[in-house]
Amino acid sequence: MGHDERRNFANALSRAMKDTRTSLRSLQSQLAGRGANIDQATLDYWRRGEALPAQQSSLRTLQLMEEILALGPGHLSSLLPKDSISRWDQVREAAEQEQVQRALEVMGLPSLEDFEYVFVQDHVRVRADHRGQFERSKHMVRATVDGLESVPVSMRMRFLTDPPPRIRTHNGCVLRDVVQLDDEGLFCANIALPRPLRKGELHMFDYSFDWGYSRQPDSDGLTRLVRDGLSYWAVVVDFEGDLPQSIYFDFSPDGAPWEGDGEGVRQTVRPQRQVQRALRDPARGFHNVSWVF
C-alpha cells in the first residue's frame, strides 16, 4: 500500500480525532462499547499512517469510528485503496499455506532474496511481572540487488487477544508500515532504509519491539531465523524479576518445536540474571532462546 494512501487516511483520522477532542483511549473505549474490540496500538498505527485497515472486520470498525467522530458514512472507508480487502484475502491465503514470500509480494514488500543478514545482535529484557518484554535488535544487511529500499521484519503475537507490540526505529532506518499476514497473529514491519542500497552495499540499523501481555505466560522466548550469509549472531537476555525455572537454547533446521528427536538440538542453561550466546557462522535454520517460569 502506497505512502500517499496511508497518509490520506491518517490525516483524515487525526483531523477528526482532534476536531472532536477524542483521544486514542477514548476512541478504543467507545468502540469496545459498540462491540468492536481493537487495541490502542493498532489505532495508533492507523492514525500515524504506519498501517491501513485491510480486513473485512475492519470495515465495521470504520463505520463505528465514523459515527463516534461525527463523520459522514464512508468518510474514512472511501480513503482505503479499492483492492485493500481483496489484497488481504490473498495475503491470508498465502500465509495459511506458509508461503510468506508470496505474502510479501502481494503486499508490495521487499523479497527475502533481495538482501542477506551479515550481523544480528538481539537484546531481550523480560519485565519483572513477566507480562511483557522489550526486544532491541541491531542488524547489518548486505543488498543482493540494486535499489534495496527497505527490509521486512516479521513477528508473531503471543496471545491473539493482545495488541501488537510497540515498534520503534532507532538508528539507520524508519518504520514505513505494519502489515498483518494471517489470522494467527503473524505481522510484518516494513523497515525503510535512509536511501536505496547498491548491490553488495552494507548497512546497519536497529529497532525495538515493546511487548505487553494481558496475562502472564508460562513460558516465553525469542526465535531468530538464520538464512545464508549470516556471519555472526548474538543474543543477550536480562530477567528483571524472579529467575525462570528453566532456560533453553534450541536449534531446529525446519522450525519445528524441539521434541527431543529429529535433527533439533537443545542446550539447557542454568537460570541466572543474564544469559548470553554468540555464534559465528550459525547453521541455517531456527535458533531459539526460551524460558519457563
User: Model confidence at 160, in pLDDT bands (50, 70, 90)?
Assistant: low
Same domain, 116 and 21: no
| HSE value, Cβ hemisphere, 13 Å, CA-based, for 49 | 16
Indicate whether 151 and 59 sit together in one domain.
no
In a domain, 91, yes or no: no
Mean pLDDT of all residues in 39-51: 78
Position 91 scores a pLDDT of 43
Q: Do the beta carbons of residue 118 and residue 186 sit within 8 Å?
A: no
Residue 254 is assigned to a structural domain of this protein: yes
Q: Give the range of the structural domain holding residue 63, as residue numbers without chain letter.
A: 3-82
Question: Higher model confidence: residue 47 or residue 3?
Answer: 47
Residue 172 maps to a domain: yes
Average pLDDT over residues 114-120: 92
- The set of cell numbers assigned to 32 is 469496545
Same domain, 56 and 129: no
Q: Are residues 50 and 187 in the same domain?
A: no
Averaged confidence pLDDT in the chain: 80
Mean pLDDT on 172-179 = 85
Instruction: Convert the pLDDT of each residue in 201-219 to its tens digit.
Output: 999 999 999 888 777 777 7
Indicate whether 95 belongs to any domain. Answer: no
Number of domains comprising the chain: 2
- Report which residue type is found at 208: S
Q: Mean pLDDT over residues 177-185, rounded? A: 67
**pLDDT reported for residue 258:** 55
Which residue, of 38, 60, 82, is where some domain finishes? Answer: 82
Listed residues 67, 82, 97: the one ending a domain: 82
Report yes or no on 73 lying in a domain: yes
**Average pLDDT of the residues in 105-126:** 80
Q: Residue 12's domain is classified under what CATH number? A: 1.10.260
| Alpha carbons 51 and 139: distance in angstroms, whole number | 23
Residue 60 near residue 36 (C-beta atoms within 8 A): yes
Same-domain status, 232 and 120: yes
Decide if pLDDT at 255 tops 60. no
pLDDT of residue 155: 78
CATH classification at residue 137: 2.60.40.3140
Grid cell, residue 252, equals 531446529
Q: What is the mean pLDDT of residues 57-68?
A: 81
